[in-house]
Amino acid sequence: MIELAIVEDDEAQAWLLRRYVDRYAADHGVGFDVSVHRTAEDLLDGRAKAADLVFMDIQLPGIDGMEAVRRIRRRRADVPVVFITSLAQYAIEGYRVHALDFVVKPVSYSNFEFKMTRALRAVRRERGAGISVRADDGLHVVETRDIRYIEVRNHELTYHLTDGELRSRGSVAERERELKDAGFVRCNVCYLVNMRHVAGFGDEGLVLDDGTALAVSRARRRATMEAIARYMGGMR
Protein backbone atom coordinates (compact mmCIF):
# COMPACT_ATOMS: atom_id res chain seq x y z
CA MET A 1 0.00 0.00 0.00
CA ILE A 2 1.41 3.38 -1.07
CA GLU A 3 0.56 6.31 1.21
CA LEU A 4 -0.06 9.21 -1.15
CA ALA A 5 -0.69 12.79 -0.03
CA ILE A 6 -2.24 15.27 -2.46
CA VAL A 7 -1.95 18.94 -1.50
CA GLU A 8 -4.21 21.04 -3.72
CA ASP A 9 -6.41 23.97 -2.68
CA ASP A 10 -8.51 23.95 -5.84
CA GLU A 11 -11.41 21.54 -5.27
CA ALA A 12 -11.83 20.67 -8.95
CA GLN A 13 -8.13 19.96 -9.39
CA ALA A 14 -8.02 17.88 -6.21
CA TRP A 15 -11.01 15.84 -7.41
CA LEU A 16 -9.39 15.34 -10.83
CA LEU A 17 -6.12 14.10 -9.31
CA ARG A 18 -8.02 11.80 -6.96
CA ARG A 19 -9.89 10.34 -9.94
CA TYR A 20 -6.61 9.86 -11.82
CA VAL A 21 -5.16 7.99 -8.83
CA ASP A 22 -8.15 5.65 -8.78
CA ARG A 23 -7.80 5.05 -12.51
CA TYR A 24 -4.07 4.41 -12.21
CA ALA A 25 -4.67 1.98 -9.35
CA ALA A 26 -7.17 0.03 -11.45
CA ASP A 27 -4.97 0.06 -14.56
CA HIS A 28 -1.74 -0.95 -12.83
CA GLY A 29 -2.86 -2.99 -9.83
CA VAL A 30 -1.34 -0.61 -7.26
CA GLY A 31 -2.90 0.01 -3.86
CA PHE A 32 -3.03 3.60 -2.59
CA ASP A 33 -4.03 5.09 0.74
CA VAL A 34 -4.81 8.66 -0.34
CA SER A 35 -5.15 11.77 1.81
CA VAL A 36 -6.18 15.10 0.26
CA HIS A 37 -5.10 18.36 1.89
CA ARG A 38 -6.22 21.87 1.01
CA THR A 39 -3.25 23.57 2.74
CA ALA A 40 0.38 22.74 3.37
CA GLU A 41 -0.20 23.31 7.07
CA ASP A 42 -2.73 20.47 7.10
CA LEU A 43 -0.18 18.11 5.59
CA LEU A 44 2.64 19.19 7.90
CA ASP A 45 0.42 18.77 10.95
CA GLY A 46 -0.61 15.27 10.02
CA ARG A 47 0.41 12.87 7.27
CA ALA A 48 3.76 14.31 6.12
CA LYS A 49 5.78 12.00 8.35
CA ALA A 50 3.98 8.92 6.98
CA ALA A 51 3.56 9.77 3.29
CA ASP A 52 5.46 7.68 0.75
CA LEU A 53 4.77 10.15 -2.05
CA VAL A 54 3.52 13.76 -2.18
CA PHE A 55 1.80 15.54 -5.07
CA MET A 56 2.15 19.20 -4.06
CA ASP A 57 0.59 22.29 -5.60
CA ILE A 58 3.05 25.18 -5.46
CA GLN A 59 0.65 28.12 -5.17
CA LEU A 60 -1.16 27.53 -1.89
CA PRO A 61 -2.68 29.82 0.73
CA GLY A 62 -0.45 30.32 3.76
CA ILE A 63 2.69 28.19 3.47
CA ASP A 64 3.35 27.65 -0.24
CA GLY A 65 4.44 24.37 -1.74
CA MET A 66 8.13 25.26 -1.95
CA GLU A 67 8.37 26.18 1.74
CA ALA A 68 6.37 23.09 2.71
CA VAL A 69 8.84 20.83 0.93
CA ARG A 70 11.78 22.63 2.55
CA ARG A 71 10.25 21.74 5.92
CA ILE A 72 9.63 18.14 4.90
CA ARG A 73 13.24 17.85 3.74
CA ARG A 74 14.53 18.72 7.22
CA ARG A 75 13.28 15.36 8.41
CA ARG A 76 12.81 13.19 5.33
CA ALA A 77 15.36 13.98 2.66
CA ASP A 78 14.27 11.26 0.25
CA VAL A 79 10.47 11.31 0.16
CA PRO A 80 9.53 11.80 -3.52
CA VAL A 81 7.66 15.03 -4.26
CA VAL A 82 5.92 15.84 -7.54
CA PHE A 83 4.98 19.50 -7.89
CA ILE A 84 1.73 20.53 -9.57
CA THR A 85 1.90 23.96 -11.17
CA SER A 86 0.54 26.10 -13.95
CA LEU A 87 3.85 27.97 -14.19
CA ALA A 88 6.74 26.00 -15.66
CA GLN A 89 9.28 28.61 -14.51
CA TYR A 90 9.02 27.17 -11.00
CA ALA A 91 11.04 24.20 -12.21
CA ILE A 92 14.48 25.63 -11.35
CA GLU A 93 13.43 26.56 -7.82
CA GLY A 94 11.77 23.18 -7.41
CA TYR A 95 14.95 21.30 -8.18
CA ARG A 96 16.66 23.23 -5.39
CA VAL A 97 14.39 21.37 -2.94
CA HIS A 98 15.03 18.11 -4.82
CA ALA A 99 11.62 17.73 -6.39
CA LEU A 100 11.34 14.48 -8.30
CA ASP A 101 9.19 15.88 -11.10
CA PHE A 102 6.56 18.41 -12.20
CA VAL A 103 3.05 18.09 -13.56
CA VAL A 104 1.91 21.17 -15.45
CA LYS A 105 -1.77 22.13 -15.34
CA PRO A 106 -4.09 21.34 -17.00
CA VAL A 107 -3.19 17.77 -16.12
CA SER A 108 -3.98 15.06 -18.64
CA TYR A 109 -4.27 11.43 -17.57
CA SER A 110 -1.51 10.30 -19.96
CA ASN A 111 0.91 12.81 -18.44
CA PHE A 112 -0.19 11.91 -14.91
CA GLU A 113 0.27 8.20 -15.64
CA PHE A 114 3.79 8.76 -16.93
CA LYS A 115 4.77 10.88 -13.91
CA MET A 116 3.16 8.46 -11.44
CA THR A 117 5.03 5.49 -12.88
CA ARG A 118 8.31 7.34 -12.47
CA ALA A 119 7.38 8.44 -8.95
CA LEU A 120 6.53 4.90 -7.87
CA ARG A 121 9.96 3.69 -8.95
CA ALA A 122 11.44 6.30 -6.60
CA VAL A 123 9.05 5.26 -3.81
CA ARG A 124 10.12 1.64 -4.10
CA ARG A 125 13.78 2.64 -3.91
CA GLU A 126 13.11 4.82 -0.86
CA ARG A 127 11.11 2.08 0.85
CA GLY A 128 13.84 -0.47 0.36
CA ALA A 129 15.20 -0.27 3.94
CA GLY A 130 14.21 -3.35 5.89
CA ILE A 131 15.27 -5.86 8.50
CA SER A 132 15.36 -9.64 8.47
CA VAL A 133 13.14 -11.49 10.93
CA ARG A 134 13.53 -15.25 11.40
CA ALA A 135 10.13 -16.60 12.44
CA ASP A 136 8.87 -20.17 12.83
CA ASP A 137 7.76 -20.30 9.20
CA GLY A 138 11.04 -18.97 7.78
CA LEU A 139 12.91 -15.76 7.08
CA HIS A 140 10.94 -12.56 6.46
CA VAL A 141 12.25 -9.22 5.21
CA VAL A 142 10.18 -6.49 6.87
CA GLU A 143 10.17 -2.86 5.80
CA THR A 144 10.87 -0.70 8.85
CA ARG A 145 8.00 1.63 7.97
CA ASP A 146 5.57 -1.28 8.39
CA ILE A 147 6.61 -1.95 12.00
CA ARG A 148 4.42 -0.17 14.54
CA TYR A 149 6.36 -1.46 17.52
CA ILE A 150 8.40 -4.41 18.73
CA GLU A 151 7.43 -6.06 22.00
CA VAL A 152 9.65 -8.34 24.08
CA ARG A 153 8.36 -10.93 26.56
CA ASN A 154 10.60 -13.67 27.98
CA HIS A 155 13.15 -13.28 25.16
CA GLU A 156 10.42 -13.59 22.50
CA LEU A 157 10.06 -10.64 20.15
CA THR A 158 6.67 -9.81 18.65
CA TYR A 159 6.76 -7.50 15.65
CA HIS A 160 3.45 -5.64 15.53
CA LEU A 161 3.10 -4.73 11.86
CA THR A 162 0.59 -2.69 9.91
CA ASP A 163 -0.76 -5.94 8.47
CA GLY A 164 -0.28 -8.52 11.24
CA GLU A 165 2.34 -9.90 13.59
CA LEU A 166 5.59 -11.86 13.46
CA ARG A 167 7.23 -13.67 16.36
CA SER A 168 10.86 -14.63 16.76
CA ARG A 169 13.55 -15.15 19.36
CA GLY A 170 16.07 -12.40 19.84
CA SER A 171 17.29 -9.36 21.71
CA VAL A 172 15.33 -6.13 21.70
CA ALA A 173 18.54 -4.29 22.61
CA GLU A 174 20.13 -5.59 19.41
CA ARG A 175 17.13 -4.42 17.38
CA GLU A 176 17.27 -1.05 19.15
CA ARG A 177 20.88 -0.58 18.02
CA GLU A 178 20.00 -1.69 14.49
CA LEU A 179 17.05 0.73 14.26
CA LYS A 180 18.53 3.71 16.11
CA ASP A 181 18.66 5.81 12.92
CA ALA A 182 15.29 4.63 11.58
CA GLY A 183 13.01 6.63 13.89
CA PHE A 184 12.50 4.12 16.70
CA VAL A 185 12.49 4.88 20.44
CA ARG A 186 12.55 2.53 23.45
CA CYS A 187 9.73 3.79 25.68
CA ASN A 188 10.17 1.07 28.33
CA VAL A 189 11.90 -2.28 28.71
CA CYS A 190 9.12 -4.02 26.74
CA TYR A 191 8.52 -1.75 23.75
CA LEU A 192 10.57 -0.37 20.87
CA VAL A 193 8.28 2.03 19.03
CA ASN A 194 8.33 3.37 15.48
CA MET A 195 7.75 7.11 15.92
CA ARG A 196 6.15 7.45 12.49
CA HIS A 197 3.17 5.56 13.96
CA VAL A 198 2.84 7.67 17.13
CA ALA A 199 -0.41 9.65 16.95
CA GLY A 200 -0.20 11.34 20.35
CA PHE A 201 -0.10 10.95 24.10
CA GLY A 202 -2.76 9.53 26.39
CA ASP A 203 -3.22 8.85 30.09
CA GLU A 204 -1.40 5.52 29.72
CA GLY A 205 1.47 6.82 27.58
CA LEU A 206 1.89 6.72 23.81
CA VAL A 207 -1.09 6.31 21.48
CA LEU A 208 -0.35 4.82 18.08
CA ASP A 209 -2.18 5.45 14.82
CA ASP A 210 -4.21 2.25 15.21
CA GLY A 211 -5.35 3.22 18.73
CA THR A 212 -2.87 1.02 20.61
CA ALA A 213 -1.76 2.52 23.94
CA LEU A 214 1.76 1.77 25.16
CA ALA A 215 3.04 2.56 28.63
CA VAL A 216 6.09 4.78 29.00
CA SER A 217 8.30 3.99 31.98
CA ARG A 218 9.18 6.75 34.40
CA ALA A 219 12.89 6.21 33.79
CA ARG A 220 12.50 6.58 30.01
CA ARG A 221 9.74 9.18 29.91
CA ARG A 222 11.89 12.27 29.42
CA ALA A 223 14.11 10.69 26.75
CA THR A 224 11.06 9.30 24.95
CA MET A 225 9.21 12.61 24.89
CA GLU A 226 12.32 14.48 23.74
CA ALA A 227 12.93 11.97 20.95
CA ILE A 228 9.33 12.23 19.73
CA ALA A 229 9.39 16.03 19.98
CA ARG A 230 12.52 16.12 17.81
CA TYR A 231 11.00 13.69 15.33
CA MET A 232 7.70 15.54 15.02
CA GLY A 233 9.37 18.93 15.22
CA GLY A 234 11.37 18.11 12.14
CA MET A 235 8.14 18.26 10.15
CA ARG A 236 7.26 21.83 11.23
pTM of structure: 0.57
Among 231, 133, 215, smallest CA distance to 181 is for 231
| Residue ranges covered by each domain of the chain | 2-126, 130-233
CB 205 within 8 A of CB 214: yes
In DSSP notation, 96-140 reads HTT--EEEESSPPHHHHHHHHHHHHHHHHHHTT-EEEEEETTEEE
Please provide the CATH number assigned to the domain covering 130-233: 2.40.50.1020
Q: What are all long-range contacts of 213-221, with beta carbons under 8 Å and residues at least 24 apart?
A: 214/149, 214/187, 214/188, 215/187, 215/188, 215/190, 215/191, 216/187, 216/188, 217/187, 217/188, 217/189, 220/186, 220/187, 220/188
Cα-based distances in Å from 81 to 56, 69, 127, 156, 219: 7, 8, 14, 39, 39
pLDDT digits (tens, 9 = 90+) for 44-86: 886 656 788 999 998 899 999 889 988 888 777 678 899 988 7
Of the pLDDT bands very low, low, confident and very high (cuts 50, 70, 90), residue 236 is very low
* Percent of the chain whose pLDDT exceeds 90: 38
CATH architecture, domain defined by 2-126: 3-Layer(aba) Sandwich (3.40)
